Amino acid sequence: MLITLLASCHHEETTTPDPDAFPEGFAWGSATAGFQVEMGCPTWSAEDCEDRNSDWYQWVTTPSIIETGSLYVTGEPVSDGPGMWETFEDDVARMRDDGHTAFRMSLEWSRLFPDGAAEQATTVDELVPYANAAAVQRYHEVFDALHQAGIRPVVTINHYVLPLWVHDGVACHEHLDTCSPNGWLDGERITRLISLYAGFVAREYGADVDDWYTLNEPFATTLSGYMLPGPDRSAPPGVSNEIEATRDVTIHQVEASAAMYDAVKAEDPTATVGIVMNMTAIDPNDPNNPADVLGAEHMDWLYHRVFLEALTSGDWDDDLDGTIDSNRPELAGRLDVIGVNYYNRVTVLGLPFPLYPEILPVFDFFPEFSWEPYEEGLGRVLREAGEYGLPVWVTENGTPYVEEDGVPILEGHVASMHEAIDAGVDVRGYLYWSWVDNYEWNHGLDLRFGLYTFDPATKERIERPAAARLRQYAAENRL
Ligand code: FCB
């Protein structure tokens, strides 16, 4: 009798759920993007290491762009980067030792298809012979290393960077109306090309990859390329207040993401396909000022919801005025998962009227960004993403203050994520930006986010305290 009683007490004790635990199988790891981490190899020649065929490579190496102060491009040599094209295997071994179970990376379209002759292909079969065999092989090696380490690859098909034969960012900076090739401006062309490329990578790597994301942060491309390039981020083609282009590029990215979803599914029907959104915690500057409140709602629409509504229900805001005009079945149901990148909050000043009522009526606000940590914002944006009823991953989260305050900021974010999970959001994994200090777009190495920094001469990784804290989260799977 006593024994039974003791046994049942013991049983109860071991099955009481731990309130601080994360769900079983929750993934912990880090995130990167090809352009930002691949170049700067420690021993491989620049020829073997650098990918010179992209709009971003062109952007950070063109003197006239670097000299244009308003573009804030440091022009730091890409060879100052961490060189993962060579060091992937060593980094993956370190991730394994850190207990990471997932790793987000992007495939670089310009590495796989450096040559514009690829445009002649009209099917995935026809595209195959145009692929660069060495790059195809290198990504296979990376996936093999990840599999051997028991780390799940989470793959972004296009993280901002376009091949030069798809986008000449410098020509478009100079003459947006006449430049060629003009990247996201030509919706028919880029949708055709990028979905064929998506089909290619799903066929080539589908056996290794289950988790695919079409585009990274579509509105960041639009904002820093066509609307408001600034000190925080400027991107090719780096033109300001091109509002028609802003509208068109936004629409083209929604359409392209849906077409990429279909292309991946056609090759790999069991794949999970999502989009990565940059989700900010948006607050009105003065919650008692109706213009600020409306401005905040409109910004939320343009940044987040116009994409998520379209790609879930097909509800479509034709003229970007903040209201649904039609339903487009070819966009609906084109997300299996939502990737959330979270860094900061934005305070919104409402304007008394839209700046461009004919072209972008929803744009009646001015956003003020800041990198200041606002940890509880992660839970807020996860709840917003969770409204769509799909699984959610934190596909990026981190801070440029990682050197000084990496641990408390990480702990604040993880606690906020835990609250969202408690509130019912189906969060499946947390990927820290970034694995290692990276080439941070226009900033070069001036903005650093890595769990690891590196010795500039040898590229040897040097751990930051946040790496140890993440290792502990991965080991314990609890707060
Ligand atoms: C995100 C990008 C990522 C990196 C971080 C800091 O907007 O997706 O590539 O630049 O910001």
Per-residue model confidence (pLDDT) at position 319: 83
Per-residue model confidence (pLDDT) at position 339: 98
Q: What's the mean pLDDT in 351-379?
A: 91
Q: Please determine, for residue 8, whether its predicted confidence score (pLDDT) is greater than 80.
A: no
Bridge partner list, 167: 182
Domain count, the chain: 1
Answer whether 338's CB lies under 8 Å from 392's CB: yes
- What's the one-letter identity of residue 8? S
Q: Please determine, for residue 246, whether its predicted confidence score (pLDDT) is greater than 60.
A: yes
Q: Cα–chain-centroid distance for residue 294?
A: 27
Q: Compute, in angstroms, the gap from residue 432 CA to the centroid of ligand 1.
A: 11
The reply to whether 73 falls in a domain is yes
Closest protein CA for atom 10 of ligand 1: 440
Q: Please determine, for residue 193, whether its predicted confidence score (pLDDT) is greater than 90.
A: yes
Q: What mean pLDDT, rounded, does the chain reach?
A: 95
Among 51-55, 131-135, 159-163, 240-244, the minimum mean pLDDT is found in 240-244
Which is the closest atom of ligand 1 to the Cα of 449? 6
Over the stretch 424-439, which tens digit does the pLDDT of each residue have? 999 999 999 999 999 9
- Rounded to whole angstroms, how far apart are CA atoms 131 and 106? 17
Burial annotation 226-253 (CB, 10 A radius, 16+ → b, else e): bbbbeebbbbbbbbeebbebbbbbbbbb
CB atoms within 10 A of CB 213: 28
Number of H helices and number of E strands within the chain? 18, 15
Percent of the chain with pLDDT over 70: 97
Name the residue with tokens 């959001």: 425
Q: What's the mean pLDDT in 86-100?
A: 98
Return the higher-pLDDT residue of 2 and 410.
Answer: 410
Over the stretch 420-476, which tens digit does the pLDDT of each residue have? 999 999 999 999 999 999 999 999 999 999 999 999 999 999 999 999 999 999 999
Closest protein CA for atom 9 of ligand 1: 33
Q: Please determine, for residue 4, whether its predicted confidence score (pLDDT) is greater than 50.
A: no
Q: Please determine, for residue 382, whether its predicted confidence score (pLDDT) is greater than 90.
A: yes
Q: What's the mean pLDDT in 189-201?
A: 98
The reply to whether 7 falls in a domain is no
Helical (H) or strand (E) element with 470: helix 465-476
Q: Please determine, for residue 383, whether its predicted confidence score (pLDDT) is greater than 50.
A: yes
- Rounded to whole angstroms, how far apart are CA atoms 122 and 128? 11
Per-residue model confidence (pLDDT) at position 13: 52
Q: Compute, in angstroms, the gap from residue 318 CA to the centroid of ligand 1.
A: 28
The candidate with the shortest Cα–Cα distance to 338, out of 272, 259, 424, is 272
Q: What's the mean pLDDT in 121-132?
A: 98
- The phi, psi pair for 452, rounded to 5°, reads -120, 140
- Rounded to whole angstroms, how far apart are CA atoms 349 and 429? 34
Per-residue model confidence (pLDDT) at position 257: 98
- The phi, psi pair for 274, rounded to 5°, reads -135, -170
Among 283-287, 320-324, 348-352, the minimum mean pLDDT is found in 320-324
The reply to whether 17 falls in a domain is no
Per-residue model confidence (pLDDT) at position 281: 97
Per-residue model confidence (pLDDT) at position 1: 41
CA angle 255, 188, 185 (to 5 degrees): 85
Closest protein CA for atom 5 of ligand 1: 433
Closest protein CA for atom 4 of ligand 1: 440
C-beta pairs of 181-190 under 8 Å, 24+ apart in sequence: 183/55, 183/236, 183/237, 184/221, 184/222, 184/225, 184/248, 184/249, 184/252, 184/253, 185/245, 185/248, 185/249, 185/252, 186/252, 187/248, 187/251, 187/252, 187/255, 187/256, 190/166, 190/252, 190/256
Which is the closest atom of ligand 1 to the Cα of 441? 10
Pairing of strands 461-463, 452-454: antiparallel
The reply to whether 53 falls in a domain is yes
What CATH number is attached to the domain comprising 398? 3.20.20.80
Which is the closest atom of ligand 1 to the Cα of 36? 9
Q: Please determine, for residue 82, whether its predicted confidence score (pLDDT) is greater than 70.
A: yes
Q: Compute, in angstroms, the gap from residue 14 CA to the centroid of ligand 1.
A: 41
| Number of residues that this document lists for the chain | 479
- Which domain covers residue 270, as residue numbers? 23-476
Which is the closest atom of ligand 1 to the Cα of 216? 8
Bridge partner list, 366: 349
Q: Compute, in angstroms, the gap from residue 128 CA to the centroid of ligand 1.
A: 30
Answer whether 193's CB lies under 8 Å from 115's CB: no
CA angle 346, 318, 195 (to 5 degrees): 85
> Which burial class, exposed, middle or buried, applies to 36 when counting CB atoms under 10 A from its CB (0-12, 13-18, 19+)?
buried
Answer whether 417's CB lies under 8 Å from 12's CB: no
pTM of the model: 0.95
Q: Compute, in angstroms, the gap from residue 102 CA to the centroid of ligand 1.
A: 18
Q: Compute, in angstroms, the gap from residue 358 CA to the centroid of ligand 1.
A: 32
Q: Please determine, for residue 6, whether its predicted confidence score (pLDDT) is greater than 90.
A: no
Task: Name the DSSP letter for residue 22.
Answer: P
Q: Compute, in angstroms, the gap from residue 452 CA to the centroid of ligand 1.
A: 16
The reply to whether 403 falls in a domain is yes
- The phi, psi pair for 329, rounded to 5°, reads -60, -25
Q: Compute, in angstroms, the gap from residue 230 CA to the centroid of ligand 1.
A: 15
Answer whether 61's CB lies under 8 Å from 164's CB: no
The reply to whether 234 falls in a domain is yes
- 14 pLDDT band (50/70/90 cuts)? low
The reply to whether 149 falls in a domain is yes
Pocket of ligand 1 (CB under 6 A): 33, 36, 216-217, 220, 278, 341, 396, 433, 440-441, 449
From 278, 394, 433, 448, give the residue whose CB has the most ligand 1 atoms within 8 Å, as the site to mutate: 433
The reply to whether 5 falls in a domain is no
